[in-house]
Structure 1
Amino acid sequence: MPTFRMLLLGLLATSPLAAQEPIRFGRTPDISPDGKTVVFSYLGDIYAVESVGGVARALTTHPAHDMNPAFSPDGRNVAFSSNRYGSYDVFVVPTRGGRPRRLTFDSASDMVCGWTPDGSAILFASLRSPAFPSNFELYSIPLEGGRVTRIGAPEAKDGAFSPRGNLLAYVRGPGAWYRKNYRGSSNDDLWIANADGSNSRRLTDFNGQDHSPMWSPDGSTLYYVSECAGTANVVRQSVTNGSKPTPLTNHTDESVRRARISHNGETIVYECGLDLWVVGTKDGDKPRKLAIEVNADDKANNQRVTMFTRGMTEFALTADEKFVAFSLQGKLFRAPVGSSTAKTVQMTTGAWMDHGINWSPDASKIVFLSDRSGHEDIYLLEANDLDHPKLTEAHTFKVTRLTDTKEPESGVSFSPDGKKIAFLRGGKLFTMNPDGKELKEVIKDVQVFDYEWSPDSRWFVYARRDGSFASELYMVPVGGPTPSDPIRNITRHATFNAGVTWSQNGKKIAFVGERRGTSNMIHVLELEKPAGPGPSSSAGTPAVGTRAPLAIDFEDIHQRVTSLRAFGDVATISPDGSKVAFRDPSTRDLFIVTTTGGSLTRITTGGLMPRQIVWSKRRSIVGPSIELIYFLDAEGNLRLLNPAGGEAKPGTAVPSLPWKARLTVDMQELHQEMFDQAWRYLNDHFYDDKHHGSNWDDVRRRYRPVVPHVAMKEDLYALLYLMMGELNASHLGVTGTPTLPDEQTAELGLIWDERYRGNGLKVAEVLKRGPADHKGSAIKAGDFVVSIDGTDLTPSENVSKLLNGKVGETVVLQVTDNPSDPKAKRRRVELIGATRANIAERMYDRWVARNASRVSELSKGKLGYIHIPSMDEEGLDRFVRSLYSDNYDKDAIVLDVRFNGGGFTHDQVLNYLGSREHTVFKMRDGGSGLVLRSNDRKWHKPLALLINNRSYSDAEIFPNAFKTLGLGKVVGEPTGGFVIGTSALRLVDGSMFRIPRIGVYTLNGVNMDKKGVDPDVLVVPHPDQIAKGQDAQLDKAVEVLSADVNVWKQKRTKRD
């Protein structure tokens, strides 16, 4: 019996044998060389169990998350990935147990794939390269640690070396591991290359998922997971050209995911559904589900007591601003404003999500939303404390349910006079009394999504969508429309208008809207006509609690909208109506602008990301002439500032209001609530009420019982992704903050020659505008960097380890022309370490510049090139700037939306394209074609458009429109078919959960989330071309467009 086998048996024999329920959701398994032992991830640790099932034994026990275990070829070690230092790194642990040893140190995640056949190195996938386009690539790290080597297979995300080590089977593509039954160009396929990644050839061309390559011992057959027969199963296929796969398993109800084969080729372990299975590779072998027991203690207390000083998800102030109520992890708390010593009181408990809080004007009640009944309803919170009857002083509380419907409510708020509660349900606006009685449907509509009370409690202003998804603002009496006071459209501009707020003096309304193709513009509407000549009124902002009826002049009210030329995605107007505070989407900071369209002032720096902005309504709190703004930042800090301080200087701190909240969290209850929330959000809001044909109730029945088998957020997220995958839809996801702080690996802006294998690192290129691109650096291509901060760069040194923690810090390099000559002169060079994101931007600029140069070279300067990186304001600005500054004098332009993740600016881009010439302007000595305003110059010459399988969302709507409008030929490969309008909601722990809400269809009724846009000229790039820096798609676009230019010129000649 092999030694490692004896060691494993000894370990397993010492495990407790108390019978218990078999585990569910063991993940990322591997199997020992002899097929007798399975290792897998469970509860965030690595476990080992016999391949027939039984009691498992932990190989790792750590608070971090461990996954992707892989046996070494001799069975003595297990490599795995762990996020012990923030991102996932490669570790190795002896099979018999012990302290794991860390091998990689980069701040990108390194995911173990397997080993080299001789066991000398570990193969892993990583996104560590800042190159553009950003892709997973394969790397190897020696078992003893040291320098990482990149395998030259482009876009490889998983792989396995052949038994002889001369070939590499790898997975290429942007496919989603969790998505079921996707068919399209953004799938994963298998390729076979030389061990260094060169000379690739495609093994599979099925347009669904093919992954998890596994070699037979003789190297003649590849086993892998494929959806080619419908449901994902393990198949096998000869590696010779022209062969076809045959099934090894035949699961029909659940899909197979990750699979791994034993070194002797006799057994495969795999994930299927929510369990682990094994199957023999001999004909007739039947799959077996493993019954595994884990008798493990909790790695951390299930009941966790935490003291929070940040993490609010929302807040609400009492009218006198002396108290704040806030939601923290789904519980409601009360605290005095600004006191660092007074006690914070928890007002609600339970494993559910309480949110949407709003105080009554007299601070005796709080109305809020909660899913404690299983769906979102409205509840009332009041004091239940004889000794402290005021809600602001009470320590015990009572909660009363006000609504009981399966349809979720939202947007609940008291009227300013406290007599009514308003809310939204099913796109309709309702009111009721504070006791839940006298329910009234104010507007018989189904497209209301935003509203605001008037300060006198007599009117609603609300945003309503029409059938084209445009939205307008309307006004209606609180009691509903009447013949004398009907519903009135107060904007009459059918684009986008929402985010409405009403000044406390009742004279102005501010909102966010789209005008002239520009979104997120701040607007103000005057509710009264401007006063004529004569003495002005001295009336200011009425005191809280006093209110005369508002005077609203509806005649031509829509003509009193002023565009402030300021752009924000969250905005609120000051009490006196003189200013608007808003979040700028580009800087993610807080600005104010006067409502006359005058001064614009940035009042925070550092990208604080305000997500709730409230003007103080009582200046007397601090002083009669002091204005204050409360806001919640991205980390859940409640901040308070005085905007009168003027323009914020870089590094200016905004004080946080102190508070502390002690919260006991039951982790199992928290995870259960997060799952229930996620399922319900998709049940209530997914754009297709048939859920793409999935039985959504059955999905809940299958996945919900697995939640108790989850101990860590990483595994819960994986479970949620699997649930989402049942929808076969795009734009789904869940994200949260890292559980541990990360080490940031600095970048130097040097591109290395990866063919060099000696001491030091050879510089292939100095990146423009990078840290080394300055007069004093004295580094050039061909130089060798032989030490970093005094450590010589031998092959045993890990470069990422030396650069960790050096972002923004001085890094000292020793540079030479000849590293092999000890007498060669060394130069000292000091650089400032840059973030990987910064270098990624420079690499993107490099990619664009190279493409533009290539187009110019092939066309002899006649064609231009524009890449649009994203369909948002930044991408639009890049497009317009390049159109007018670099390309307007060209005969034609190659437009490129490859690697564009989307947005919503397709119409703005189209607005600049495809215009027909109709007028020529001339002036004396001025030539012809003069147009007074550059933004009126529309492109009217030939175009070609490049697309690929990573053109997503609005970068698919755009090429569909490009083809439909006949603007030119489309070159490349089909887009991914990832087109849905999406939004995000917050889970109880603060995680953000994406929800597809809007379907997008072609004029022929084709759902664009199921079908990508096909090019007119198909060009699929080969990995070998990519590795050599060749761009076959770009070259073809130049060829096609040059021919179109010739035809266009001939037509112009005939016309002229």
Structure 2
Amino acid sequence: MTRTLLASFLILVTSTLQAQEPIRFARSPALSPDGKTVAFSYLGDLWTVDAKGGVAHQLTRHEKHDFNPIYSPDGQWIAFSSNRHGQYDVFVVPVKGGRPKRLTFDSADDHVTGWSPDSQNVLFMSGREIDLPFRTELFTVPVTGGQPKRISVWEGRDGAYSPKGDLIAHVRGPGRWYRRGYHGSANDDIWLCNADGSNNRQITTHKGQDIYPMWSADGKSLFYVSDVTGGQANIVKKNVGRHIGEELGGGPLLLPVAVTHHKDDFVRRARISANGQSIVYECGFDIWIHSIKDGKSRKLNIEVNADDQTNTETLKTFTTGTSEFAWSPDEKHVAFVVHGEIFLMPRNGGKAKRLTNHPAFDHGIAWSPDGKQILFLSDRSGHEDIYSLEPDDPDHPSLLDAHRYKIKQLTDTPEAEFGVMFSPDGKHVTFVRAGKLMQMDPDGGNQKTLVSDGQIFDYEWSPDSRWICYARADGSFASELFIIPATGATAKEPARNITRFATYNGGVTWSQTGNKLGFVSTRKGGANSVNVLSLQKPLAAGAFPNKEIDWENIHLRVKQPAPGMISQECVISNDGTKVAFRAEVDGSEDLWIANADGGSVTRLTTGNLKPTQIQWSRFFFGQIYFRDGNGNCRAIMIGGPALSEPNTLKFTAKMTVRQDEVFLEMFDQGWRALHENFYDANFHGANWKAILAKYRPVVQHCAMKEDLYTLIALMLGELNASHLGITGNLGSPDQQTANLGLIFDHKHPGSELKIVEILKGGPADQRGINLKAGDRIVAIDRVELTPQTNVSKLLNDKAGEVVALKVTNADGGSPRRVEIRAETRAKLNDPMYERWIARNAQRVNELSKGKLGYIHIPNMQEPGLERFVRALYSENFDKEGIVLDVRYNGGGFTHDQVLNYLTGKEHTLFVHRDGTSGLVFRSYDRKWHKPLTLLINNRSFSDAEIFPAAFRTLGLGKLVGEPTGGLVIGTRGITLIDGSTFSTPRIGIHTIKGVNMEKEGVMPDITLVAHPDDLARGHDAQLEKAVEVLREEVIAWKKTRPPAVGASGATNP
């Protein structure tokens, strides 16, 4: 049965049996205070149903995602989160229904977690007001509206008030709720704090996930979800008396005990009724209720009578958002892909003609040289194969004019193909299958292997169809370029390595003159750059040119026409004299050109256009085509007005889109990508095909993309692996909340805003702005601040505008007017981060009396590397030792570059006439050779785990802090049919001793866990311990130093 027939069948079943069969994949259930009613989210709306099951009543109806309902303890309200305004906000709605009331207005996501016992405040978590990544804090907002108040002091999620309201149980940690069986430091644990956020204490220490805390009716125990008792994660109960001052003895009472006993699937999103008698939760794809009194769990059968919120079949018109384009050989037409379908249109734009019509993802367009045939890739057979498309209309033989087309499948293998390309003479088709370079006839016949090396990822034909240049990886992130005859390598004409430079080499293009290659390579500086290789030696005076490749020392003829510029893509011009490339300069990725032999670099575009699929026109001299970051096909002429705006090929592409088909295709693409590429062929012990059978039928129950993302996350969680996930554009805030560059006292009891700090480099840190710590803001833009005022609402859409503040001094006095030009929330990140860095550096300086340095590396990518190098040489190279810090480092790929700067060894002294001496000249080539310590924690991810592992292997110093999480896999993202990004872990990372670093965190030499109360007070015990350790290392190092050298050059006694 084809996918289309299956989808139609599922729709028929859904529409005819909706009210007769229980629904599946209802989410985020909550019980009424008396435990008699269950609220839940389904089809993006909120519903309520009797706790015994039956037909549900619809509570909200909106096209956006209403989610996570929670009853107030008095049973009058239901709080929930919804992205009705782009981001998730907190809303409340009467339990009997009515118009929801919005309580939060910030452009950060706000997610409801609970209520205060008196039903006067909603507890929620939000990512606003943070100075480091990965942090979420707890806030309350009055049910009547007003300014939210921050509760937690250093991270808090999923908070729940105790019955008396004096304590809050909450979750801390970087864990993933959907990941099954993970045991490591990157997990979540449950903590308690006082109602004001103070006096934090850790309740659980299990290495697995401990989440969804719920209080018992007497306030002496916590229910939560954990796999601490073995097997699947279930609801467990733990006595917390000793954590709250109760004397209840020790022994077994303090150990968690199992409450539910599911064996086939795990429990999630558990919530207890206010009377403490029942717990409702998700398990598998159903809602369950557990009776605390009798200890029994039962599945809740729910029926709904629901109409579709939006049309399931929609006629969409696309005018942007192409994922690729391909010009016809005569450049009179352009084929392109939008939303997984292939369209064709004249070069002057207009209404595009649809060539394919299938729920599958059609892409990878390749024109035949005569323009009569298009080859493309599609997964319509269940795996990625090559198809041929030709006119099937004798009266209209051209592709643009034809009324009918014939599509023929040319390949049929379980392995995916990519990189389909015709030879320039049209006689052959080449492609890559399972890393091998393949060749076949244009009709799919005579398939054979040209190169069987198995790690080919890129190639290009020579314009005369005699040669093929391909890029082959070597398994260690390096690759080389080879050239073979078009018929395959032989003993006489073997595959020849033309780069002989064992870093990255790829993205090859061949000039139409046949004499030059353009490609991207990682050479000087460790970053990708543009390279041009001449296939012939320079002509001697009077010699006649020829087109034969001169193999002798060919690798030495590589030039870099744009040295120092980082580029990921380049294309050599037809005559081989210029190269067009994408480069990032000052944060803007745009199109540039350079002379192939060097000497001149010119910027062609501005505006961060993010050009890709760059192509030189063969018919319009000096014209370059490219696709911009918004999916528009653009064209620009070199030699025209400087930095002129490129022309946009305007199009209109119409198609009918069925949401159910799109969702099914997204699911299949993701599953198949892992089936073909997951780094462990045994899938960490999971039965990946059985997982497909388990989850795929549930796609039909997802009416919202948010629900589909959750379903896919559950599927990914079965692999118990890191670097998995799906992300996409689920909407952006209708209004962005601006920031003033001020930090306020969140414990201040008044309605005014009390300033505790002015952020350096922020909007308020400007000459002429008269503000200081202790000042109170009593009005914003003439709106007086009262308990009912929501400050975020006043600052929405104010970025770039002058905001007028009425300010009073700490000791009172007449108010004064202060004007600040507000900035976006995103611009708050840098000064907040710099504030944290400055405090750390200052503390190291104080403790070491200026003798030790401090460098935090925020990420293992180019920006983090650049920051590290600058800090090393401009601020720290004269220090006796350096505290390195990769806490809160999200990873990347630059561990080797960083290590390269840190692995200096003393071997020679340069001694001057006056007796001064040094090891080498002061330059960026100079390596650090003095003592180091390295700070790590459970938020040092991926490459920030490879780095400390290598740091230890190389003996560079001691590690201080917390174990890392063991989240280490080489990954790559793919784009799904709707534009979502899906991560595919492809490469395992092992230590030199052969230990797989995935699920094996790096252990510090000195373990010290940071406490949130200390961090909130600015006391970083890990940092202080690192300084203590480093000072001892410096003392020991000094004893190994060579003796001083006198002015005469003799060694002093």
**Structure 1 length normalisation: TM-score?**
0.94
1:550 deviates by 3.9
Counterpart amino acid of 1:608? L
Question: Which structure 2 residues correspond to residues 824-973 of structure 1 after superposition, within 5 A?
Answer: 824-925=813-914, 927-929=916-918, 931-932=920-921, 934-973=923-962
Cα distance in 2 for partners of 1:174, 1:99 equals 36
Counterpart amino acid of 2:607? G
Counterpart amino acid of 1:188? D
Counterpart amino acid of 1:778? N
Cα distance in 1 for partners of 2:594, 2:269 equals 54
Aligned equivalent of 1:1020: 1009
Q: Does structure 2 retain, via aligned residues, the 8 Å contact 1:601–1:647?
A: no
Counterpart amino acid of 1:32? S
Cα distance in 2 for partners of 1:56, 1:939 equals 68
Which of 401, 426, 431 is the aligned partner of 1:418?
A: 426
Aligned equivalent of 1:634: 629
1:351 deviates by 0.9
Aligned equivalent of 2:1025: 1036
Q: Does structure 2 retain, via aligned residues, the 8 Å contact 1:130–1:837?
A: no
Is 1:610 matched with 2:611?
A: yes
Figure out how many residues of one structure are paired with residues of the other and give that number: 1015
Which of 539, 556, 559 is the aligned partner of 2:556?
A: 559
1:58 deviates by 1.3
Q: Does structure 1 retain, via aligned residues, the 8 Å contact 2:419–2:431?
A: yes
Cα distance in 1 for partners of 2:933, 2:213 equals 38
Is 1:811 matched with 2:803?
A: yes
Aligned equivalent of 1:44: 44
Counterpart amino acid of 1:234? I
Q: Deviations over 1:272-323 (max 9, x none)?
A: 12211110112x4221111111211000000011111011111111112111
Is 1:252 matched with 2:249?
A: no
Aligned equivalent of 2:464: 456
3-state SS of paired residue (2:507): strand
Cα distance in 2 for partners of 1:647, 1:17 equals 64
Aligned equivalent of 2:305: 295
3-state SS of paired residue (1:844): helix
1:937 deviates by 1.2
Counterpart amino acid of 2:975? R
Counterpart amino acid of 2:506? A
Is 1:445 matched with 2:453?
A: yes
1:776 deviates by 2.1
Aligned equivalent of 2:169: 169
1:581 deviates by 2.2
Aligned CA distance change for structure 1 residues 866 and 647 (closer, same or farther; 3 Å): farther
Which of 315, 335, 351 is the aligned partner of 1:325?
A: 335
1:834 deviates by 1.1
Q: Does structure 1 retain, via aligned residues, the 8 Å contact 2:28–2:282?
A: yes
Aligned CA distance change for structure 1 residues 389 and 43 (closer, same or farther; 3 Å): same
Which of 759, 762, 774 is the aligned partner of 1:770?
A: 762
Cα distance in 1 for partners of 2:723, 2:581 equals 27
Cα distance in 1 for partners of 2:539, 2:782 equals 74
Cα distance in 2 for partners of 1:32, 1:859 equals 58
3-state SS of paired residue (2:924): helix
Counterpart amino acid of 2:396? H
Which is worse superposed, 85-94 or 605-614? Answer: 605-614
Question: Which structure 2 residues correspond to residues 393-542 of structure 1 after superposition, within 5 A?
Answer: 393-516=401-524, 518-534=526-542
Counterpart amino acid of 1:751? I
Cα distance in 1 for partners of 2:638, 2:122 equals 56
Q: Does structure 2 retain, via aligned residues, the 8 Å contact 1:334–1:346?
A: yes
Counterpart amino acid of 1:260? R
Q: Percent identity over the alignment?
A: 58
Cα distance in 1 for partners of 2:784, 2:576 equals 64
Cα distance in 1 for partners of 2:831, 2:535 equals 49
1:505 deviates by 1.7
Q: Does structure 1 retain, via aligned residues, the 8 Å contact 2:18–2:304?
A: no
Which is worse superposed, 162-171 or 357-366? Answer: 357-366
RMSD between aligned residues: 1.8
Aligned equivalent of 1:692: 684
3-state SS of paired residue (1:349): coil
Counterpart amino acid of 1:584? A
Q: Does structure 2 retain, via aligned residues, the 8 Å contact 1:130–1:839?
A: no
1:863 deviates by 0.4
Cα distance in 1 for partners of 2:825, 2:787 equals 23
3-state SS of paired residue (1:460): strand
3-state SS of paired residue (1:934): coil
Q: Deviations over 1:460-511 (max 9, x none)?
A: 1001112434211000011001232111000011111111111222121111
Q: Does structure 2 retain, via aligned residues, the 8 Å contact 1:307–1:663?
A: yes
Cα distance in 2 for partners of 1:788, 1:395 equals 64
Q: Deviations over 1:127-167 (max 9, x none)?
A: 11242245010001100111010012421121100000000
Cα distance in 1 for partners of 2:798, 2:498 equals 55
1:1001 deviates by 0.8
Question: Which structure 2 residues correspond to residues 968-979 of structure 1 after superposition, within 5 A?
Answer: 968-979=957-968
Structure 2, unpaired ranges of 5+ = 1-15, 243-249, 1045-1050
Cα distance in 2 for partners of 1:106, 1:428 equals 52
Cα distance in 2 for partners of 1:786, 1:535 equals 84
Cα distance in 1 for partners of 2:595, 2:838 equals 41
3-state SS of paired residue (1:1025): helix
Runs of 4+ in 1 over 6 A off after TM superposition: 1053-1056
Which of 301, 305, 308 is the aligned partner of 2:315?
A: 305
Cα distance in 1 for partners of 2:422, 2:734 equals 43
Which is worse superposed, 963-972 or 779-788? Answer: 779-788
1:870 deviates by 0.8
Aligned equivalent of 1:3: none
Counterpart amino acid of 1:688? D
Q: Does structure 2 retain, via aligned residues, the 8 Å contact 1:631–1:638?
A: yes
Counterpart amino acid of 2:899? L
Q: Does structure 1 retain, via aligned residues, the 8 Å contact 2:359–2:665?
A: yes
Counterpart amino acid of 1:236? K
1:534 deviates by 4.5
Cα distance in 1 for partners of 2:864, 2:671 equals 34
Aligned equivalent of 2:726: 734
Cα distance in 1 for partners of 2:607, 2:190 equals 44
Aligned equivalent of 1:149: 149
Cα distance in 1 for partners of 2:27, 2:992 equals 43
Cα distance in 1 for partners of 2:618, 2:53 equals 66
1:661 deviates by 0.6
Aligned equivalent of 2:771: 779
3-state SS of paired residue (1:935): coil
Q: Does structure 2 retain, via aligned residues, the 8 Å contact 1:152–1:1027?
A: no
Counterpart amino acid of 2:183? R
Aligned CA distance change for structure 1 residues 128 and 208 (closer, same or farther; 3 Å): same
Q: Deviations over 1:828-849 (max 9, x none)?
A: 2222221222110111111111
1:196 deviates by 1.1
1:809 deviates by 2.1
3-state SS of paired residue (2:667): helix
Which is worse superposed, 63-72 or 236-245? Answer: 236-245
1:826 deviates by 2.9
Aligned equivalent of 2:7: none
Aligned equivalent of 1:266: 277
Cα distance in 2 for partners of 1:534, 1:749 equals 70
Cα distance in 2 for partners of 1:1031, 1:713 equals 41
Aligned CA distance change for structure 1 residues 908 and 1036 (closer, same or farther; 3 Å): same
Cα distance in 1 for partners of 2:1015, 2:238 equals 27
Aligned equivalent of 1:363: 371
**Structure 2 length normalisation: TM-score?**
0.94
Counterpart amino acid of 1:324? V
Question: Which structure 2 residues correspond to residues 222-233 of structure 1 after superposition, within 5 A?
Answer: 222-228=222-228, 229-233=230-234
Q: Does structure 2 retain, via aligned residues, the 8 Å contact 1:45–1:60?
A: yes
Q: Does structure 1 retain, via aligned residues, the 8 Å contact 2:808–2:815?
A: yes
